[in-house]
Structure 1
Amino acid sequence: MFRTALRSVLAHKARLLMTVLAVTLGVAFVSGTLVFTSTVTDAYKNSSQKGLGNVDVAIQPHKSDNDRSNPGETPRLTQRLLDQVAAAPGVASVTGSVSGFAAVADKHGGLVSKGGSSGGANYYPGADGKDARYPMKSGQAPARAGDLALDSKTAERAGYRVGDIVRISVDGPVLQQKLTGIFTTDDGNVSAGGSLALFDTATAQKLYAEPGQFDQIDVKAAENTSQNALKADLGRILPEDAEATTGRKLADDQAKDIAESMDGMTTGMLVFAGVALFVSIFIIANTFTMLVAQRTKELALLRAVGATRRQVTRSVLIEALLVGTVAAVAGLLVGIGMGALLRSVMGSSGTEIPDGPLVIPSSAVIASLVVGTVVTMLAAWLPGRRAAKIPPIAAMNSVHAVATARSLAVRNAIGGILAAVGVVTSVLAKDESVMGLGAMLLVIGVFVLTPLLSRPVIAAVAPLLSAFGMPGKLARQNAVRNPRRTAATASALMIGLTLITGLTVIASSVQQAIDKMAADSLKADYVVVMASMHDLSPDIAEKLAATADVTVSSPMRPAPVFIGDKGESLTGVDGATIGRLVKADFTDGSFAGLSGKKVVVDEETAKSHGWKINSSFTVTYEDGRRDSLTVSGVYEGTQMVQGIMVDNATVTPHLTEVNDRQVLVKTASGGSAATEERLRKALGDNPAIQIQSKADISREVAKLIGLMLNILYGLLAMAVIIAVLGVVNTLAMSVSERQREIGMLRAIGLGSSSVQRMVRLESMIISLFGGLLGVALGVFFGWAAGELISTGMPTYELALPWGRLALFLLLAAVVGMLAALWPARRAARMNMLMAIKAD
C-alpha cells in the first residue's frame, strides 16, 4: 500500500502541486512568525544584557507597600548613600544615574526620534575620567552646564557634528546646548530608534531631580566578589527606601519583560497563521476529495483484489503524509526567509531593531513538521474513509457519486444549529473570548450550510449570466452541479473576506466614533501635549494664557492622592473656565459648582465609590495633608474627559512637583494656521510640544488605524492567496474530470473562446459567492464586535464603508477571473477527440 500511495503521488504531481503550495504557505506563516519573534526577542535580550555588562548590583529607590502617607513619586537616592556604597568592601566602582525625557530637535526644528523614545541621562565619569556605559566615538564628554553629548545614531539621523548647537527640550523651555561629543551605546531604546542625550551630572540632576539625587546607583564588584555576596553586604547599609538587585536578576527581568512585550505580536501573527492553515484545510480536503473521486475505480479494483477498507484509507493517509512532509519542509524554509524579510521590512519602515543573528528556534522546526503533516492528514482522512466505505461493484459502476437526501438533510440540520448558536452567542457576548467562540461557530455553521445556500444564491445571478449566452448558462449549471465542491472552494475565500470586512467595518466605526468624540467632548480649539506623552512644565500653560488671541485656557494637572487606602489621581483644572473648554453631559449638577473643595466626577468613578451629589470623601495629598472634598456634579465620562476634576487652586499647593498632562486652549479666531503658528512661536518652536486641533486628533487616530489595517490586510492577504490557489486547484481538477464533456461540447460546435469564457464565468460565480458570504459575515461580526466596543466608547455607532465593501466584491470577481486563466486555457486547448475518448 505504501508503494501504491507513492506511485499515486508521483502520477498526480500536477494535481497535488497546488495543495503542496497551500500547505507550504500556511506552514511558512507559522514558522516565519516564530523565527521573527525569536530573532527580535533575542536581539533585544542581548542588547539589554550588553547594557548591564558593568553592573553587578543595582541600587534603586523602593517605596514600601505599607507607606500610605505619601501618594506621590517614590523617593530618590542621595549622594551620601552613593559615597557610603563606594566605601563598602567588595566594591570596585559605583556609577550614579539620573534620567528623564529629552526631545532632540533636528536642524529643521522637528523631533528626531519620532518613532522611538527620547531619553536624557547623566554622564558619570569614573576614576579614569570615563563612563564605561557611553564610549566616546568623537569629541569630549559633557563636563559643564551647556554641554551635550548625543548617541551616534541620533547624530547621524539629524546631521549633527561636534561643535554644533543642538536645540533640546526636557519638559518646557527649549535649551541651546553645544554638542561636545558623540558616543556609542548598547541602550535598547536607542537601538529601537530612540535618542539619548547626555548632560553632566549636575545639569541632569537639576533637570530631572534635585541636586545630589540619583535614580539608580550601579555597582561594579571587586575581583573575587560574587554578585550575591556583594548584594548581601550592601543590604546591611541600605536605608528602608532603597533596595539592591543583582545584575543577573536585572538582565533576567529585562529579558522576561521583552518576551512578554512580544507576546501580543506573536499571538496576533499566530492567529493569522491559524486562519491561513484553516483556509488550507478547505483546499486540502477539496483536493483529496476530488482525487479520490477520480481514482474511485482504481481504489475499487484494489478492494476487488483483496485490499481492506483500512488499507485503502491508509493508502490515502500515506499519500497525505508524503505531501504534508514535503510541504512542511518547504514551509519551514520559506518561513525562515519570511522571518528575515519581516525584520528587514520593520527596519525599513522606521522601526529599528537591535543588531543580532537570525534565530531559528526548535519550536519553529517542530511546529512546521507537526502542523504540515497533521493538518494534511486530518484534511485527507475523511475523503479516504469515505472512499474506503464504497462497495467495489458500486465504485466501478460510478453509482456512488450522488449524496443521499438523508445525508444532506443531516448536514443542513447540523449547519443550521451551529449557525444559530453562533449568532446567539455573538449577539449576547459580553467579552472577546465568548465573541470569538460565537464567530467560530457561525463560520463553521455557514460553511456546513454553504452547499444549501449555493443554489439559490447562484440562481439569483442567473439573469446576469444570460447575457453571455450558452457559456453563461453552462457556467451556472457547472457551478451548482457539485454543491459540496463549490461550497469548499467558496468557503476558503469567504473566511479571508469575512476577517477583512469585519476589521474594515470596525475600523471605520471607531474612526467615526473618534471624530464624534473629539467634536462632542471639546469646545477648545487646541489641545497642547508633549510628543512623548510626558507631562508639560507649568510655564507652558502660563505662556499660552499670555498669548494674543487666546481667550480661555486651562491646564489639566494630575494630582496623585489616596482615597482611603486606594491610590487615585485627581485632575486639576481651572474651575472658572473649564466649562468653556470641554463638553460634558451632567446627570446631576454642573461645572458651575467646581471651585474650592467641590469636585465633579464621572459616572463610573462615582458608581465605584458609591458617591452621589453632595457626597463627601477624604483625600490624602502628596505632602501628607488630608482634605475633605464634596461632589458637586456627576457627568458622563468619555475617552477624552473623565475622572475627578478639582480646581487647581485647591490641589497645586499640595503637589511636590507641578506638571500638566495637557493644556486646553480656546482662541478668538476659532483656530487657524496663523493662530497655530503664533502659539508655536510663543512656546519657542519647541520640538517636544504638539499643538493639536480636533481635526489633528482625528487624523492621528486615523493614521494609526490605517497603519494597523494595512498590516492586518497584509497578513490576511496570505489567506486570500491560499484561497485563490484553491479556486485554481478546483477548476483545474474539474476541467480534468470533465474532459469527455468538454470534448463533446467542442464537437457540437462550442468554440475554444466560448469554452474559456465558460470556465472563467464558473470561477467568477464561485468567487463572488464566497465574496458575498464573506462580506455579509464580516458586516455581522463588525456589528457584534461594535456592541462590545460601544460599552467603553459611547460615541461608537456602526458605520458601513460601502465603497470598500463594493471593492471587496469586485476583488472577489477579479480573483475568480485570474484564478481561471490557466484552467480555462487548458480546457480550450484540449484535443476534442482525445477528450471524448477519455475515461
Structure 2
Amino acid sequence: MFRTALRNVLAHKGRLLMTALAIMLGTAFVAGTMVFSDTLGQAMKNSYSKSYSDIAVQVTDYSAGSGARTSQKGERASSRLDDATVRQIAALPGADRTQGVVSGFTAVADHKGKLIGEAWTARGANYAPDASGKDSRYPMADGRGPQKSGEIALDRSTADKGGYKVGDTVRIAANGPALNTTLTGIFTTDDPQVGSGGTLTLLDTASAQKMMLTPGQFSSITVSAKPGTSEDALLGEITAKLPGGNHFTTETGQQLTDEQSKMISDSTSAMKTMLLVFAAISLFVGIFIIANTFTMLIAQRTKELALLRAVGASRRQVTESVLVEALLIGAIASIAGVVAGIGIGAGMQALVGSLNSGMPTGPLVISPAALLVAPAVGIVVTVLSAVLPAVRASRIAPVAAMSGGDQPATQKSLLIRNIIGSVVAGGGLALVAMGAATGSSAGRLPVGFGAALALIGIFVLLPLLSRPVIALVGPLLSGLAGTPGKLARLNAVRNPRRTAATAAALTIGLTLVSALTVLGASVGGAVDKAVTSSMKADFDVSTASRTDLSPEVVAQIAKAPGISASSPLTNTYWNFDGTGRSVSGIDAGSVDQLLQPVMTSGSTAALAKGQILVSGEVAKEANLSVGSTVKVSTLGTGDDTGNGGGNGSTAIGSMTVGGVFEPNQMLSPVLMSNADIAKHDPAANVHDVLVKGHDGPTGALQQSIKDATDSNPVIEVKTKQDMRDEFNKIITFALNMMYGLLAMSVLVAVLGVINTLAMSVFERKREIGMLRAIGLDRGGIKRMVRLESVVISLFGATIGVLLGCFVAWAVNGTLESSISGLTTLVPYGKMLLFLALAGLVGLVAAMWPARRASKLDILDSIKTD
C-alpha cells in the first residue's frame, strides 16, 4: 500500500501541484515570520547592548522634564538631581567617574525650516567634557563640542539630512521659542535611537538644562565603578546617599541592559505573534484547499480504490494509503516552504531597512525552531486535512468498482450536516449578539468565541446556502451569457460540498477584510467626531511632540495678525469631592467662539461666573446637576492617585456646577475658565492653543501664526480637516498593513479556486466533449468555466462580507464604553469594491482551467472512462 501511495503521488503531479503550493506558501509565511522576527530582535539587542557598556550604576529622575509642575509636586531643591548630588556620588569610595546627564526633547530644522526626522525621536543632551576637553560619549568627527550658549553639535546622520556643515547656523527648538545656533561640531555615536533614524543635538550643560529641564537640574547621573567594586556594592553606596524624594530610580548597568533586552524581546514577540496569526489564517485557508483536493481525487479514483478493496485491501490500508500521500506531499511542500521562508525573512529585513535606513541590522538568524516548527506545522495541517477524505475513501464498497463517477452524499448525511451547522451557527450568532449587548469589554470574550463558532457553523452550512444564493443570479447569467451562463450556474450547484469548500477559502479572507474595514471606519468616525465635533476654532496650535507650549510661545500666537479670538487650552489635575479628575481650562470670554460642546443642561456662560462644567459621565458618577456644589483642592506631593489628600494639597473651596456636556476626547471631564485655574496653578500645562480668525481658516492666517512663532519647526497649525487626516492616516496605515498580511491568505484562496476548477475540468471531460459535439464552441466552454468561477467566488465573498460586517458591529458594541460616540459605519463603496475584486479573482483564477477545457479533444473526451 505504501508503494501504491507513492505511485499515486507521482502519477498525479499536476493535480497536486496547487495543493503543494498552498502548503508551501503557508509554511513559508510561518518560517519567514520566525526568521525575520529573530533576526530583527537579535540586531536590536546587539544595538541596545552598547548603550550601558560603560555604566555601572545609573540614577534617573523620571519626573525631570516631564511637564509636572512645581506647585503640584512640592518639589524642593533637595529632591532633584543637581551638581551637589553629582559631587556626593563622586565622593563615594566605589565611584570612579560620575557624570550628570541632561536629556529631553530637542528638534532640529532643515534649511527650509521643516523638522528633520520624527518629533518623537528628536532628542537633546548635554556635552560634558572631561579634563581633556572632550566628552568620550560623543567623539567628534568634525569640529569641536559646544562650549557656551548658542553653540550645538549634531550627529552625523542629522547633519547630512539637513545639509549642514561646521559653522552653519542651525535652528533648534524644544517647547519654547525657536533659537538660532552655530554648529561647532559633528559627532559619531552608537546610540541606538540615532541609529534608528532619530536626531541628537548636543548643547553645553547650562544651555541644555535651561532648554530641557530647569537650571542646575540633571535628568540622570551615570557612574562607573572603581576596579574591585561590584555594581551591586556601588548601587548600595549610591542609594544611601540619594536626596529625599520617591521619584528616583537606581539601576545597575546589567539591570539596564537586561530591561532593554526584555523590552526588545517583548516587542518583537508581539510582532511575531501578530505575523504568526496571519500565517495561521493562511494555513487555515489551506486546509479547505487540501481537503477539497483529496476529496476530489478520491471521487475520481473511486474505481481504483474499490478494486483495491476487491483484491483484499482493508479499510485501514486504504485510509493509510491516502494519509501517506498527504504525508509525502506535506513533507515535500513544507521543506520547500522553509527554504522559501528564509528568503521571505531576508526580503522582509531588506524592506524594513529600505523604509528606515537607520534600523539595526545583522546577519540572518535561522533558529532550530524555524527549521523544525514550520515544516512540522505544514505536515500536520496537511495530514489532518486529509483525514476525512481518507475515512471516506475507506468506506467505498468493492462493488463500486463495477461503476464510475462520484459517489453522491446521502440525504441523511446532508441532513445531519445541516442540523449541526444550524446549531453551531445559531449558537455562535447568539453569543456574538449577547457579547455586543453588554456594551463593555466584558463582551469581548463571548464575541470572539461566538464569531469563531458562527464562522465554523456557516462553513458547515455553505452547501445548503449555495443553491438558493446562486439560484438568484441564474436569470442574470442566462440573460448575459446564454447557454454558457446557464451551464455555469448548473455546474456551480451540481456539487454543493465542493462549491462550499472552494468558496469557504474566500469567505475567510473577506470576513476578516470587511470586518477590519468596518471597524476602521467606525473607530475613525468616532475619534474624528470626538476630537473635532466640539472644536469651533479655525486652527489648533500644538507641538509636533505633544509636549507643553511655553508661555512665550502662547503669547507669540496671541499676537499673530488676523486673529479674532484665541485661548490656550490648559490642563491640570485637581480633587473634586475627594476624587482626582483631569481639568481643561479655556478663556471664558472666548469660549463660545472657540468651542461648541454639546450641552445637556446649563450653558458655557457659567464659566464667566466662576462655575464649572462637567461631562455627563462625571455628573452621573458623582450625582451632579446644574446648581450642585463640589469641594475642590489641588493635589499635593505624592497625591497622584486620584484619591484626594496628599502632603501640601491646597483647599480651593466650593465650586458650583454650571452645566453638563456630552463627553468628548478634546476636553477633560471638568471644564473651567483659565482665570480660575491660574489663581491656584499659574503654571498649568498647555498642550493646545485654539485660534479663530477674522476671515476663517485661511492659508494667510495659518502662515501668520507660523510667522508669529518665528517659523518654529516644532509648532503645528492644524485645521479640523488636518486633524481628521492625521487620525485617518494612522487608521489607514494600520488597515493597509493588515490587508498586506491578509493578502497571503487571499492568494492561497485563489490557488484553491484554480485547483478546484482544474480538477473539475478533468472530472467533466466527457461532459465537455459532449457539449463540444452538440455545437458549443471553444469560446462558449471558456465562458462557462469562467462564469462558474466568478459565481463561486462572489458567493464566498458575499457570505464573507455579510459575516464581517456583523462581527464588526458586535466588536463595536464591546468598545462603546471606551470610545465615546462609537457607531457602526459601513463603507458601502469599499464593500462593493471587495465584491468586485472577488469577481476579478474568480475570473483570473479561471483563465488556465478555462483554456485547458477549451482545448480538450472532442473524441478523446467522449470516450473517457
TM-score with structure 1 setting the length: 0.94
- What is the CA distance between 1:141 and its match in structure 2? 1.1
**Which residue of 2 is the match for residue 440 of structure 1?**
452
Cα distance change, pair 838–400 in 1 and its aligned pair in 2 (3 A): closer
**Which residue of 2 is the match for residue 481 of structure 1?**
494
Distance in 2, Cα, partners of 1:336 & 1:352: 23
Q: Is the 8 A contact 1:638 1:793 kept in 2?
A: no
Amino acid at match of 1:252: D
Distance in 1, Cα, partners of 2:844 & 2:20: 20
Pairing 1:177–2:189 present: no
- What is the CA distance between 1:53 and its match in structure 2? 1.3
Cα distance change, pair 115–366 in 1 and its aligned pair in 2 (3 A): farther
Pairing 1:154–2:178 present: no
**Which residue of 1 is the match for residue 644 of structure 2?**
none
**Which residue of 1 is the match for residue 590 of structure 2?**
577
Cα distance change, pair 170–32 in 1 and its aligned pair in 2 (3 A): same
**Which residue of 1 is the match for residue 148 of structure 2?**
144
**Which residue of 2 is the match for residue 551 of structure 1?**
564
Amino acid at match of 1:358: L
- What is the CA distance between 1:566 and its match in structure 2? 6.7
Q: Is the 8 A contact 1:412 1:452 kept in 2?
A: yes
- What is the CA distance between 1:17 and its match in structure 2? 1.2
Unaligned segments of structure 2, at least 5 residues = 64-68, 638-647
- What is the CA distance between 1:51 and its match in structure 2? 1.2
Distance in 1, Cα, partners of 2:714 & 2:588: 28
Distance in 1, Cα, partners of 2:170 & 2:280: 50
**Which residue of 2 is the match for residue 104 of structure 1?**
108
- What is the CA distance between 1:341 and its match in structure 2? 2.1
**Which residue of 1 is the match for residue 66 of structure 2?**
none
**Which residue of 2 is the match for residue 537 of structure 1?**
550
**Which residue of 2 is the match for residue 621 of structure 1?**
635
- What is the CA distance between 1:824 and its match in structure 2? 1.3
Amino acid at match of 2:338: L
Distance in 1, Cα, partners of 2:177 & 2:864: 86
Q: Is the 8 A contact 1:544 1:550 kept in 2?
A: no
Choose which of 390, 394, 399 in structure 2 pairs with 1:388.
394
Distance in 1, Cα, partners of 2:242 & 2:654: 39
Unaligned segments of structure 1, at least 5 residues = none
Say which is worse superposed, 17-26 or 462-471, in terms of deviation. 462-471
Choose which of 374, 379, 387 in structure 1 pairs with 2:380.
374
Q: Is the 8 A contact 1:394 1:400 kept in 2?
A: no
Q: Is the 8 A contact 1:562 1:619 kept in 2?
A: yes
- What is the CA distance between 1:16 and its match in structure 2? 1.3
Distance in 1, Cα, partners of 2:623 & 2:193: 43
Distance in 1, Cα, partners of 2:514 & 2:119: 29
Choose which of 262, 265, 279 in structure 2 pairs with 1:259.
265
Pairing 1:453–2:462 present: no
TM-score with structure 2 setting the length: 0.92
Secondary structure at the aligned position of 1:642 is classed as coil
**Which residue of 2 is the match for residue 718 of structure 1?**
744
- What is the CA distance between 1:395 and its match in structure 2? 5.4
- What is the CA distance between 1:539 and its match in structure 2? 2.1
Choose which of 300, 325, 331 in structure 2 pairs with 1:325.
331
- What is the CA distance between 1:382 and its match in structure 2? 0.8
Secondary structure at the aligned position of 1:53 is classed as coil
Pairing 1:492–2:492 present: no
Q: Deviations over 1:274-300 (max 9, x none)?
A: 221111111111111111222222222
Q: Is the 8 A contact 2:173 2:713 kept in 1?
A: yes
Pairing 1:630–2:655 present: yes
Secondary structure at the aligned position of 1:119 is classed as strand
Distance in 2, Cα, partners of 1:109 & 1:835: 75
Cα distance change, pair 4–609 in 1 and its aligned pair in 2 (3 A): farther
- What is the CA distance between 1:818 and its match in structure 2? 0.9
Distance in 2, Cα, partners of 1:201 & 1:239: 21
**Which residue of 2 is the match for residue 9 of structure 1?**
9
Q: Is the 8 A contact 1:115 1:193 kept in 2?
A: no
Secondary structure at the aligned position of 1:594 is classed as helix
Pairing 1:292–2:317 present: no
Q: Deviations over 1:524-545 (max 9, x none)?
A: 1111111111111122222222
Pairing 1:705–2:731 present: yes
Alignment of 1:161-240 (within 5 A): 161-240=165-244
Cα distance change, pair 419–810 in 1 and its aligned pair in 2 (3 A): same
Q: Is the 8 A contact 2:581 2:669 kept in 1?
A: no
- What is the CA distance between 1:234 and its match in structure 2? 2.3
Q: Is the 8 A contact 2:561 2:701 kept in 1?
A: no
Pairing 1:739–2:751 present: no
Amino acid at match of 1:673: G
Q: Is the 8 A contact 1:601 1:631 kept in 2?
A: no
Distance in 2, Cα, partners of 1:148 & 1:698: 37
Secondary structure at the aligned position of 1:307 is classed as coil
Alignment of 1:524-673 (within 5 A): 524-561=537-574, 568-594=581-607, 598-609=611-622, 611-613=624-626, 614-621=628-635, 624-627=648-651, 628-632=653-657, 633-652=659-678, 654-655=680-681, 657-673=683-699
Secondary structure at the aligned position of 1:532 is classed as coil
- What is the CA distance between 1:505 and its match in structure 2? 2.4
Q: Is the 8 A contact 1:497 1:775 kept in 2?
A: yes
**Which residue of 1 is the match for residue 838 of structure 2?**
812
Q: Is the 8 A contact 2:19 2:289 kept in 1?
A: yes
Say which is worse superposed, 170-179 or 778-787, in terms of deviation. 778-787
**Which residue of 1 is the match for residue 645 of structure 2?**
none
Q: Is the 8 A contact 2:572 2:685 kept in 1?
A: no
Q: Is the 8 A contact 1:743 1:833 kept in 2?
A: yes
Q: Is the 8 A contact 2:119 2:544 kept in 1?
A: no
Secondary structure at the aligned position of 2:689 is classed as strand
Identity of aligned residues (%): 49
Amino acid at match of 1:445: G
Pairwise CA RMSD of aligned residues? Answer: 2.5
Amino acid at match of 2:251: T
Q: Is the 8 A contact 1:161 1:179 kept in 2?
A: yes
